[in-house]
A and B are shown apart, each in its own frame.
Chain A
Amino acid sequence: KAGVTQTPRYLIKTRGQQVTLSCSPISGHRSVSWYQQTPGQGLQFLFEYFSETQRNKGNFPGRFSGRQFSNSRSEMNVSTLELGDSALYLCASSPGTSDVGQFFGPGTRLTVL
């Protein structure tokens, strides 16, 4: 099976702009989770989508949002970008109904100038 893919891999934006990141999970996986990784805060959970519904949400402001499509692909959006949003954004997929662990994509490196 193909692994988790994320696009784009690298992105440069300026403050105030918005950005949309995309994630394609492993075929058959219905759960997609998003994480933010920064040197200061480490890996932090953003939210999880399962069967097109948000099932879990982390402690991030409303500028961070996401959605999941019927084919399980997911997008996350960050509006009104701030310098502190510069990070590696990781997507992980899992079946969502069995305990087999999560499988992460390579991430999208976002730089906000």
Chain B
Amino acid sequence: DAKTTQPTSMDCAEGRAANLPCNHSTISGNEYVYWYRQIHSQGPQYIIHGLKNNETNEMASLIITEDRKSSTLILPHATLRDTAVYYCIVRIRETSGSRLTFGEGTQLTVNP
């Protein structure tokens, strides 16, 4: 799986958009970008994933650059409950196995 680089920590004001960046310059053509988050002492939670097109669901939006070397997870209206560690993971299709390689992630703190 390709290596990812994320900032160690970020702050965001409640109600504002949180934009979490991820660099994955060695990503290959068959690798997807996945985002998970982990609220303290809970199991990680799947957020969203994409290959090359931008994706949106009820939780977040994922913007992948045209060269696919970086991406941004957007939480449009952050709440205090969004405070968590966010992990960006690059991996091949799940049909070949469900192994996830977690890095350090970004600690997002949403402030009132």
List residues of chain B with CB within 8 A of the CB of A101: 34, 36, 46, 49, 94
Q: CB-CB < 8 A to A64: which residues of B?
A: none
Report Cα–Cα, A107/B27, bound state, in Å: 30
A55 close to B46 (CB less than 8 A) = no
B103 CB to closest chain A CB (Å) equals: 8
Q: How far is the CB of B100 from chain A (nearest CB, A)?
A: 6
Chain B residue with the shortest CB-CB distance to A33: B98
Q: Smallest distance from the beta carbon of B40 to chain A beta carbons, Å? A: 11
Q: A94-B98, A99-B94, A100-B46 are in contact. List 4 more A-B contacts (CB 8 A).
A: A48-B97, A96-B94, A97-B94, A98-B95
A85-112: which residues lie under 8 A (CB-CB) from chain B?
88, 90, 92, 94, 96-107
Measured CB to CB, the closest approach of chain A to B55, in angstroms, equals 12
Mark B residues whose CB is within 8 Å of A.
32, 34, 36, 41-46, 49, 87, 93-95, 97-104
A50–B104 Cα gap in the complex (Å)? 27
A43-B44, A92-B43, A107-B43 known; A98-B94 Cβ under 8 A? yes
Q: Dominant SS at the B interface?
A: loop
- With a CB–CB cut-off of 8 A, which chain A residues contact B36? 101
Measured CB to CB, the residues of A under 8 A from B are 4, 31, 33, 35, 42-45, 48, 50, 55-56, 58, 88, 90, 92, 94, 96-107
Contact B95 A102 (CB under 8 A): no
Task: Answer whether A45 and B104 are a contact pair too, CB < 8 Å, given A90-B44, A99-B32, A104-B44.
Answer: no
Cβ of B44 and Cβ of A96 under 8 Å apart? Answer: no
Rounded to whole angstroms, the CA-CA distance of A99 and B94 in the bound complex is 5
Closest 10 CB pairs of A and B: A104-B43, A101-B46, A43-B102, A56-B97, A56-B99, A99-B94, A31-B98, A104-B44, A33-B98, A45-B99
Indicate if the CB atoms of B43 and A105 lie closer than 8 Å.
Answer: yes
Contacts of A42 in B (CB 8 A): 102-104
Q: Report the separation of the CA atoms of residues A86 and B100 in the bound assembly, to the nearest whole angstrom.
A: 21
Given A43-B44, A90-B44, verify A99-B95 contact (CB < 8 Å).
Answer: yes
- Contacts of B87 on A, CB cut-off 8 Å? 43
